[in-house]
Amino acid sequence: MSQNDSILNLLNIQDQNIEISACSNLSDAGVHEKLLSATLTYRVERCIYCESTDVVRNGTRLTKLKFPSIGEQPIRLNLRKQRYLCRSCQRTFSAQTDIAPTNHSITHRAAHEIVTLAKKSLPVKTISEIVGISASSIQRILYQGQRALVTPPELPAALSFDEFRSTQNCFSFICINAKTHALVALLPNRSSNTIKDYFNNTYSLSERQKVKIVTMDLNAQYQNFVRHLFPKAQIVFDRFHIVQLAGRALDHERLQALKSMTDHHDRTYKALKNNWRLFHQDENQISASENKYYRGLNEFMTAQNVVDLGLDAFPRFKQVYHDYQTILSFIRNRDRAALQQLVMNYQPNGSAMDTVIRTIQKNYLGIRNACLYEYSNGPLEGVNRKIKELKRSCYGFRSLSHFFIRIKLIHA
């Protein structure tokens, strides 16, 4: 393989009409670049305008092309394109190559590298330093001609609803396909009117009737219009948010018990304070035989002993704990009978669990559906985590449309 072919292979240039003539180092304003000189020429049989065969060579034209960096050195290609003159129509044209768009200096490979780095949630300035291309050019490649909104031609059978904090401390609405996790909607705000207008104006009633499942958190706002938008859809509440709601009630009662104790050196106080994670575990996974050393208590005992130490001193906290375990068992084992018994037999005791049970009673069908269907908001929460990482790495966004385009890139 010749040196010319080796350089072309390194730059992933498939055009065999390009011939490398020189390779040198260029330093300009503290920027060190690798400068390649090359020519592009080939035989032309006919004029591209009049189809005449009377075509002659007519000098060259210099084009400066930008390639992505290799290591820390940007690659620049000074390509002299052959010019041709048609003696019949007196018009001129240049030799063409597919390594860059017509009348553009940034090659397809550099543009592809920019998009690939943008998918990794890197800020524009960092991408500019890596590929050796100006930040303004990178923004043009990423945003020019791109649509911020998502409008798939048809709706899937299962949707997931949620919101996320976008620009200017506002919340935006996001919807994905609950099965394939593809984006369905990105809306600038989460107001009911905006969401209803989007689905009503974008999709017909027959198309919206194809939606059978809508998963969401315990947000009452979405429930108000889901049945209007999707008449045949079943609401499925996310199982994680149900457990989270019950866990907060458990923590609230635990903290109330701690506040009622004046002796902070008491064993019960240390059991509730330092070993709070044990109270959130499934009671079937708490060991009653294995002794461990607990630093807060400064003694060896089983995990069950620690839990009993905290529960026995506070009967109301003990009742809240058992209700929490019932909800946890319902979620993990899909035990609808246990949930029904809890709702029917629950006696209010003035604890934070009263609010949780009232919420379950109010949203009973959606919570029951969480047992029947495998769908959840878990994939959508993963998308929201990626969005948070994107905002953190890019130090936020001023333009909402730019933000939505970057979200589409990282989710692709």
Task: Please report the pLDDT score of residue 343 as a whole number.
Answer: 85
12-21, 120-129, 144-153 — most confident range: 120-129
Task: Please report the pLDDT score of residue 311 as a whole number.
Answer: 94
The SS3 call for residue 383 is helix
Give the pLDDT mean for 136-153.
90
pLDDT at 3 over 80: no
For the chain, the average pLDDT equals 90
pLDDT at 29 over 70: no
Give the pLDDT mean for 146-170.
91
> 324 with 351: CB under 8 angstroms?
no
List of E strands, 144-295 = 158-165, 171-177, 183-187, 213-216, 234-237, 292-294
Q: Would you say residue 122 lies in a domain?
A: no
Q: Would you say residue 148 lies in a domain?
A: no
Task: Please report the pLDDT score of residue 21 as a whole number.
Answer: 87
Whether 248 and 350 map to the same domain: the answer is: yes
Would you tell me the crossing angle of helices 239-259 and 267-274 to the nearest 10 degrees? 150
Whether 21 and 75 map to the same domain: the answer is: yes
Per residue, the 3-state secondary structure of 393-407, as one string, reads HCCCCCCHHHHHHHH
* Structure tokens that stand for 279 in this block: 């109270």
Task: Please report the pLDDT score of residue 2 as a whole number.
Answer: 65
What's the structural domain count of the chain? Answer: 3
Whether 100 and 44 map to the same domain: the answer is: yes
Whether 191 and 252 map to the same domain: the answer is: no
- 112 vs 108: CA distance, rounded Å: 6
Task: Please report the pLDDT score of residue 1 as a whole number.
Answer: 46
What residue numbers bound the domain in which 181 lies?
158-238+378-411
Task: Please report the pLDDT score of residue 30 as a whole number.
Answer: 63
Would you place residue 149 in the very low, low, confident or very high pLDDT band (cuts 50, 70, 90)?
confident
Whether 407 and 363 map to the same domain: the answer is: no
- 59 vs 84: CA distance, rounded Å: 7
Q: E strand or H helix at 324, and its extent?
A: helix 315-333
pLDDT tens per residue across span 250-300: 999 999 999 999 999 899 999 999 899 999 999 999 999 999 998 888 889
Whether 368 and 396 map to the same domain: the answer is: no
Instruction: Among 24-28, 256-260, 270-274, 393-397, name the one with the lowest average pLDDT.
Output: 24-28
Q: Which whole-number Å values give the CA distances from 35 to 28, 63, 65, in the listed order?
A: 12, 13, 10
Q: Would you say residue 30 lies in a domain?
A: yes
Task: Please report the pLDDT score of residue 190 as a whole number.
Answer: 92
Give the pLDDT mean for 51-57.
92
Task: Please report the pLDDT score of residue 322 as a whole number.
Answer: 93
The SS3 call for residue 294 is strand
Whether 352 and 387 map to the same domain: the answer is: no
Task: Please report the pLDDT score of residue 345 as a whole number.
Answer: 87
Q: What is the CA radius of gyration of the chain?
A: 32
Position 350, amino acid: G
Task: Please report the pLDDT score of residue 123 as a whole number.
Answer: 94
Q: Would you say residue 149 lies in a domain?
A: no
Q: Indicate the DSSP class of residue 175.
A: E
- Of 267, 273, 270, 305, which Cα lies nearest the Cα of 286? 305
pLDDT at 350 over 70: yes
Whether 205 and 244 map to the same domain: the answer is: no
Whether 282 and 228 map to the same domain: the answer is: no
Would you place residue 393 in the very low, low, confident or very high pLDDT band (cuts 50, 70, 90)?
very high
pLDDT tens per residue across span 292-308: 998 888 889 999 999 99
pLDDT tens per residue across span 304-348: 999 999 999 999 999 999 999 999 988 888 888 888 888 888 888
Q: E strand or H helix at 110, and its extent?
A: helix 108-118
Task: Give residue 60's region: left, alpha or beta (phi > 0; psi -120 to 50).
Answer: beta
Give the pLDDT mean for 169-186.
94
- Of 178, 157, 156, 155, which Cα lies nearest the Cα of 376? 178
Question: What predicted TM-score, i.e. pTM, was given to this entire model?
Answer: 0.84
pLDDT tens per residue across span 203-242: 999 999 999 999 999 888 888 889 899 999 999 999 999 9
- 308 vs 363: CA distance, rounded Å: 32
Q: What is the CATH number of the domain that holds 229?
A: 3.30.420.10
